[in-house]
Chains A and B, each alone.
Chain A
Amino acid sequence: AQSVTQPDIHITVSEGASLELRCNYSYGATPYLFWYVQSPGQGLQLLLKYFSGDTLVQGIKGFEAEFKRSQSSFNLRKPSVHWSDAAEYFCAVGAGDTGRRALTFGSGTRLQVQP
């Protein structure tokens, strides 16, 4: 079974600073990896996804993530954070190679942005 660990429960950064959110996954085969963002009282929005190919993936809102198989990681980055990026971020893994569609989510990282 797959699993996801997001080691940082809460991160605070200053507006304009760079951001990196960590995600480690466990899955025996090639993982399908995702980052979602959730604002208070809202549903989740997909930021980006990785299935195969180029290990650096570009997403919406200026986010990118890098898949590192050797480290079982899929960290999310943004070069310059905006106050509107304050939200909860979830990493998820899917067993797409098996045809199963259930995603396993991490417990999330709450991002706070200081002015």
Chain B
Amino acid sequence: DTGVSQNPRHKITKRGQNVTFRCDPISEHNRLYWYRQTLGQGPEFLTYFQNEAQLEKSRLLSDRFSAERPKGSFSTLEIQRTEQGDSAMYLCASSAGTGEYGGYTFGSGTRLTVV
């Protein structure tokens, strides 16, 4: 068990480009979450998967954002036509079993800078 892994750690992109981030949860965890954290703020919920099903989506997840978890294992978060306001740390977390509500294991995040 190597924890939740996120790649890349850092991404710098030009405005208007598409970017994709990957999250590998702890292997036995069936629940996976994406959060976004801007400087000086707490994380904001984006979306949640149970296995491959996307069960919750925040209003923050605009049409330019899409998340997938095709086989119920790793997940990807894609941002199309990036804007400067998308600059943030994107955090992935995972959990498993009953009674684990809120007891998530977070990855170290992907820091996105849009220039």
Contact = CB atoms under 8 A, between A and B. Distances in A.
B101 A94 contact: yes
Contacts of A41: 108
Given A32-B102, A101-B31, A101-B101, A44 B91 contact: yes
- Most central of A51, A103, A106 by chain B CB within 10 Å: A103
Interface in B26-83: 31, 33, 40-45, 48, 55-56, 58
Interface residues of A, number: 24
B45 A104 contact: yes
Interface in A40-62: 41-46, 49, 51
B106 A44 contact: yes
Interface in A70-115: 90, 92, 94, 96, 100-108
A34 interface: yes
B35 to A, nearest CB: 8
Contact of B103 (A46, A90, A100, A107): A46
Contacts of B56: 100-102
B41 A102 contact: no
Interface residues on B, range: 20 to 34
A49 B100 CA distance: 10
Interface string B79-115: 0000000000001010000000111111111000000
The interface residues of chain A, by DSSP majority, are classed as strand
B43 A44 contact: yes
B107 A92 contact: no
A107 B41 contact: yes
A96 B42 contact: no
Interface of A: 4, 32, 34, 41-46, 49, 51, 90, 92, 94, 96, 100-108
Given A4-B42, A101-B48, 9 more contacts: A41-B108, A94-B102, A96-B101, A102-B45, A102-B58, A103-B45, A106-B42, A107-B42, A108-B41
Interface of B: 4, 31, 33, 40-45, 48, 55-56, 58, 91, 93, 101-109
Closest 6 A-B residue pairs measured CB to CB? A105-B42, A43-B106, A102-B45, A44-B106, A34-B102, A43-B108
